[in-house]
Amino acid sequence: MKTTASLCLLTAFLVMSFPNARAQLTLQVVSKTIEKTFPYQSGYEVNIEGEKAEIQVQTWDKDEVRVQVEIIARHPERRRAEKDLEAMVFSSDQHGRNLYFRNYIRAPEGQPQPESDLKALYTITLPADCPVYLKNHFGVTNVSNLTNALRVQGEFSKIWLENLRGTIGVNSRFGDIEGRFIDGDVTLNTRRSNITLHEIRGRWNITAHYGLIKLFTDPNENLVSLNIDAQKADVYFFDPRPNAYGYMLTAHYGNITVPNDLKFNFLENTQQVKKAIFSSRMMNGSISIKISFGDIIIRHP
């Protein structure tokens, strides 16, 4: 394992405007960079746990896992920023086939809680077939180009996913999810989180409470199945050929809106419950959407 670390001090100037005055505040920015590299073998798993962290996971062709972490403290007083920098702790460990990377905020014993704005910036580079388990709280998560397995658990954290294959599971509370070019067996569980997906393939299961779901698909992308169970959420499904799929739609205390050229059969159409089905001759994939207190909208892009 190779390890490097560095410490630097930057000074930033923040200009704040008020209705009748203009004040200039000198903001001290202190940062510390840590870099570690671990040898990788097939069967290894990387576990990441971030707090107030921006985490980027990317891939390369080397049989190594590299983690670069920049820890940043911002405060008007230089001494306060330098002292608070030590409150953001980063640890890395290896137990058998599992690599663990973690950061958290902990004031040194006998010291007050940090006053600075603290943040950790991760860049983790690993082989594409390495499974990843990632937790993040009050931050941002960006994962791309994995081909095996990914699990993400986020709270108050934005999640970006791109060009992924394999088994994927995401749980998010108060954090929006955006994804593009994802193929595999995918499960999303969200609460108070918006979901936006483009060019998806494979089998999808989405459970959502409160939020907005937007799906932009293409029948050429081989979407096998899509199952959505949502409460107090609206679902938008955009596709240039929506007649390429079979649909089973159910809305409790909501509406179902579909293109005029799709001849849906409404099995129920009351104020309380609306159920509609459509059988496609093309049968590219099946779409099942159940929603309570929300609307289902099928549209051309």
| Predicted confidence (pLDDT) per residue in 84-127, tens digit | 999 999 999 999 999 999 999 998 777 788 999 999 999 999 99
pLDDT over threshold 80, residue 20: no
Mean pLDDT of 247-256: 97
Q: Are 164 and 150 in contact (CB under 8 A)?
A: yes
Pair of tokens at residue 46: 């990387």
298 vs 250: CA distance, rounded Å:
13
Mean pLDDT, range 181-190, rounded to an integer? 98
Structural domain includes residue 129: no
Residue 89 lies in a domain: no
Q: Are 288 and 248 in contact (CB under 8 A)?
A: yes
User: pLDDT digit string (tens) for 252-294?
Assistant: 999 999 998 899 999 999 999 999 999 988 767 899 999 999 9
pLDDT at position 25, please? 73
Model pTM score: 0.90
Average pLDDT of span 230-251: 96
Q: Does any domain span residue 101?
A: no
Whether residue 183 is predicted with pLDDT greater than 90 in this model: the reply is yes
Number of residues written out for the chain: 301
Report yes or no on 37 lying in a domain.
Answer: no
Q: 246 in a domain, yes or no? A: yes
Question: pLDDT at position 280, please?
Answer: 86
Tell me the mean pLDDT in the region 241-258. 95
The stretch 165-178 carries a mean pLDDT of: 99
Q: What is the dihedral of CA 158, 162, 164, 167, to 10 degrees?
A: 20
Q: If you average pLDDT over residues 186-191, what whole number do you get? A: 99
The structure tokens listed for 40 are: 């990788």
pLDDT band, residue 301 (cuts 50/70/90): confident
More confident call, 10 vs 40: 40
Q: Taking CA 190 as the corner, what is the angle to CA 185 and CA 191, rounded to the nearest 5 degrees?
A: 170
- Whether the per-residue pLDDT at 205 is higher than 70: the answer is yes
d(CA 282, CA 289): 19
Which H, E and C letters describe the chain, residue by residue?
Answer: CEEEEEEEEEEEEEEEECCCCEEEEEEEEEEEEEEEEEECCCCCEEEEEEECEEEEEEECCCCEEEEEEEEEEEECCHHHHHHHHCCEEEEEEEECCEEEEEEEECCCCCCCCCCCEEEEEEEEEECCCCCEEEEEECCEEEEECCCCEEEEEEECCEEEEEEEEEEEEEEEECCCEEEEEEEEEEEEEEECCCEEEEEEEEEEEEEEEEEEEEEECCHHHCEEEEEEEEEEEEEEEECCCHHHEEEEEEEECCCEECCCCCCCEEEEECCCEEEEEECCCCCCEEEEEEEECCCEEEECC
**How many domains are contained in the chain?**
1
Q: How confident is the model at residue 223 (pLDDT cuts 50, 70, 90)?
A: very high
Tell me what pLDDT residue 7 has: 54
Question: Is 280 within a domain?
Answer: yes
pLDDT score, position 162: 99
What Cα–Cα distance (Å) separates residue 169 from each residue in 20, 32, 111, 204, 259?
51, 32, 39, 10, 32
Per-residue confidence (pLDDT) for residue 218, from 0 to 100: 86
Q: 97: which 2 tokens?
A: 């086939």
Nearest CA to 243 out of 206, 278, 197, 191 is that of: 278
pLDDT of residue 4: 64
Calculate mean pLDDT across residues 37-55.
Answer: 98
* Rg, Å, the chain Cα set: 23
Residue 99 lies in a domain: no
Domain limits for position 199: 176-301
Residues 6+ apart with CB under 8 A from 109: none
Average of per-residue pLDDT values in the chain: 92
Q: Is residue 185 part of a domain?
A: yes
> What is the C-alpha separation between 171 and 133, in angstroms, rounded?
12
Bridge partners of 12, per DSSP, are 27
- What proportion of the chain, given as a percentage, has pLDDT over 90? 83
pLDDT at 22 over 90: no
The alpha carbon of residue 290 and the mean position of all alpha carbons in its chain are separated, in whole angstroms, by 23
pLDDT band at residue 147 using 50, 70 and 90 as cut-offs = very high
Q: What is the pLDDT of residue 220?
A: 76
CA 266 to chain centroid = 36
